[in-house]
Structure 1
Amino acid sequence: MKTQKCLCLTVLFFLMILPTAWAGVYWESVVETRGVPQGMPSNMPKEVLAQFNKTEVTKNYVSTDASRSESRDSVLLMDFASLTICQISPSGRSYTQMDIRTMMGQGDMGKMVEEMKNSIKITPTDETRTVAGYKCRKYLVSMMMGQGEYWVSQEVPGYEQLREIGKKMQEFLEKNPMLRQMNVAGMMEQLNGFPVQTVMETMGMTTVTTLKRIEEKVLDKNLFKVPAGYKKVEMPTMPYAHGTE
């Protein structure tokens, strides 16, 4: 799949399921990725396979105004009011910036968003178990990007605050004609809980994300800004072509 298409899908997925907090919520998750991306040879060198098969801890900070997600190699910032997303490369001291409203008006993005929204299917099950210390219920989730299972709980700290701001984000999207179709009526509401663990199969890859810790806290506004001295670089433009790999 083309790089631009992958990035767009990632951004849209991020927007659709992103939990948010009233004052501030911080959580860490352990992310385990295994497999070989679809279309790539299985006999790749070990150093190449290591890029796909890894375990890392992600850190997430969410306030009423913005969110920050840190992985090993990058930082993703989102401003809810302006609907801009910055992807930061700490090693390169650079960043790219995307305006979601502008992106929605380019090429077949609107069609892709509609396809993704229509592809999401959430099926509750009666299966329960304790994950990371929280009593969870299993949901089956399928979408354009893959399919898998979500183990969700209402016992995590800040759950009610997460729900309330999630509803406010839905209201904002509904009022914006260009972004209305991105509102999937609150995936978190449909899940009826916070995803403590997710197991997703996507394009030949299996990703298991497990909550490590979560807490309500006051967050420094500087967390949601690009560090001083970082250079803005242009993201390569590539028209979305339906069905291309």
Structure 2
Amino acid sequence: MKHPVLRSARFVSLGLTALLASALCSSIALAEEDGVFIETVNRSSGLTGEAPTEEVSQTFVAHGKMKVASADPNGTDMILDPATGEMTFMNHGVKEFYKINAKSMMEGLSKPGMDQMRAMMEQTKVTVEPTDETREINGWNCRKYRVAKTGMMEIEQEIWATEDVDLDLDRYTDLMSLSGPDGLLGDSEAGRAQRAEMEKIKGYPILTKSKMQLMGTNMESETEVRVIRREPMAASLFEVPADYKEREMNMPGAPSAHGAPAGHP
């Protein structure tokens, strides 16, 4: 029979171990949040001298942030934080990152430059035509919409959207959109008209086919959502790795978020 003191010490030790394990599990739980995972296939063709491309991107949404990650381990990922207006770009190939604040970038543009860009964007006319054509795409019931954008460039789109998915990512996509509520057009008549037209598209875009002319070249692109699911996501997923080096950006611009979920024009 064990000595009472030793037995008590063993119980205390087991109790502390259980307490520490419970605390560890609690900290892990606090660091995770139920988020949204989206897998998208991005196809493009028409670029002079280049073969058609196909790229898979993954989007993670949780903890008030959105991350768009390339399937290429040496590619570039982007993190959007609408609360601060910050966009972070991580280049995994060279382990570097840089940050751009969308709000500060807008404020940093010269007034003549902003006025000129605003005038060009105000000329953009968006027309959305809902159709009665429906089909199932990747398990979702979708309706077809025809979209035409004229002005700065001519763009024709075929958008298949589903109402089977309750997903609103406008707060993230608006950060990348100059015509969003906080963009160059803001609450202007042109901005409201463009957004009102796009709101005719009911539900979340699953398949988007786009045709455009750029400098005499016809370009085509296609974005297809293959997976949408909810899953736990750690807060660290939306942080820059500690061994990445920050790079300064001196230009008021940023790479396009290829594969990011579609938003307003």
TM range (shorter): 0.5 to 0.7
Corresponding position of 1:34 = 45
Q: Does 1:232 align with 2:246?
A: yes
* Whole-Å separation in 1 of the counterparts to 2:172 and 2:65: 13
CA contact (8 A) 1:23 1:216 kept: yes
* Whole-Å separation in 1 of the counterparts to 2:197 and 2:228: 20
Deviation track 1:193-223 (CA, whole Å, cap 9, x = no partner) reads 1111011124332111111111022221112
TM-aligned CA distance change 1:229 to 1:223, over 3 Å: same
Corresponding position of 2:6 = none
Corresponding position of 2:209 = 199
Q: Any unmatched runs of 5+ in structure 1?
A: 1-21, 37-41, 240-245
Question: How far 1:188 sits from its partner (Å)?
Answer: 7.0
* Whole-Å separation in 1 of the counterparts to 2:76 and 2:62: 20
- Name which of 129, 133, 147 aligns with 2:156: 147
* Whole-Å separation in 2 of the counterparts to 1:186 and 1:222: 37
Of 92-101 and 202-211, the range deviating more from structure 2 = 202-211
Task: Give percent identity, aligned residues only.
Answer: 27
TM-aligned CA distance change 1:139 to 1:103, over 3 Å: same
* Whole-Å separation in 2 of the counterparts to 1:230 and 1:147: 40
Task: Indicate the structure (1 or 2) with the bigger Cα radius of gyration.
Answer: 2
- Name which of 102, 105, 128 aligns with 2:104: 102
Question: How far 1:65 sits from its partner (Å)?
Answer: 0.9
TM-aligned CA distance change 1:131 to 1:222, over 3 Å: same
Question: How far 1:150 sits from its partner (Å)?
Answer: 0.8
CA contact (8 A) 1:103 1:109 kept: no
CA contact (8 A) 2:127 2:197 kept: no
Question: How far 1:189 sits from its partner (Å)?
Answer: 4.1
Tell me how large the CA RMSD over aligned residues is.
3.2
Kindly report which structure 2 residues correspond to 1:108-187, keeping only aligned pairs within 5 A, or say none: 108-109=113-114, 112=117, 115-116=120-121, 118-143=124-149, 144=152, 146-156=155-165, 159=166, 162-163=167-168, 166=170, 180-181=186-187, 185=195
* Whole-Å separation in 2 of the counterparts to 1:221 and 1:194: 25
Deviation track 1:102-156 (CA, whole Å, cap 9, x = no partner) reads 1112133465357447543322222211111211111122345633111000113
Question: How far 1:224 sits from its partner (Å)?
Answer: 1.5
CA contact (8 A) 2:68 2:78 kept: yes
Higher relative contact order (CA 8 A, sep 6+): 1
TM-aligned CA distance change 1:177 to 1:237, over 3 Å: closer
Deviation track 1:150-181 (CA, whole Å, cap 9, x = no partner) reads 1000113xx1xx23x647998xx75x698844
TM-score under structure 2 length normalisation: 0.63
Deviation track 1:31-57 (CA, whole Å, cap 9, x = no partner) reads 111111xxxxx4x3xxxx24xx21121
Deviation track 1:46-77 (CA, whole Å, cap 9, x = no partner) reads xxx24xx2112110011251100112321011
Q: Any unmatched runs of 5+ in structure 2?
A: 1-32, 175-179, 254-265
* Whole-Å separation in 2 of the counterparts to 1:35 and 1:56: 15
